[in-house]
Amino acid sequence: MADKGPYANMRSGRFSIPKFTTLPSDLEAMRNMSPSEKDAYAERKLLEHKRALFQEFEVNRQQAIIESLVARCFNHCIQKPGPKMTTGQKRCVADCTDNMLGYQTAMMAMLVERAKRNKKPYGPPIGER
């Protein structure tokens, strides 16, 4: 079985500690670093892994949204399931899904724009008051 990289388990929906194939060379490089360099290096690596986890989470979330939309449209368009979908049923599911994704995209764009417009500073940090 071929190695699929450190995040292979996350793609399948099972979250576990990733297998880092480059760890021994990282440890070798860290032996020659000062404590502050080690801290900075560890912080960079942690940030890289957080970004990768966030991206995987977002992909999974988007897939779940799309699956939900398709299921909703399927239930709307197919009242009597049979061995094959008719052309009209296929068109209904495709149009419904396209419309729902269009509405969702427009709604997200509106919310992002509203958030940008309403961004106001809430005053100085608590320690500086």
pLDDT at 123 > cutoff 90: no
> What pLDDT shows up at residue 44?
86
What pLDDT is recorded for position 1?
Answer: 44
pTM of this structure: 0.50
Q: What is the pLDDT of residues 23-73, one digit of tens each?
A: 556 777 777 788 888 888 888 888 888 888 888 888 888 888 888 888 999
For the cut 80, the answer to whether the pLDDT of residue 110 exceeds it is: yes
Cα(84)–Cα(93) distance, integer angstroms: 14
- Percent with pLDDT over 70 in the chain: 72
Question: Would you state the pLDDT for residue 12?
Answer: 52
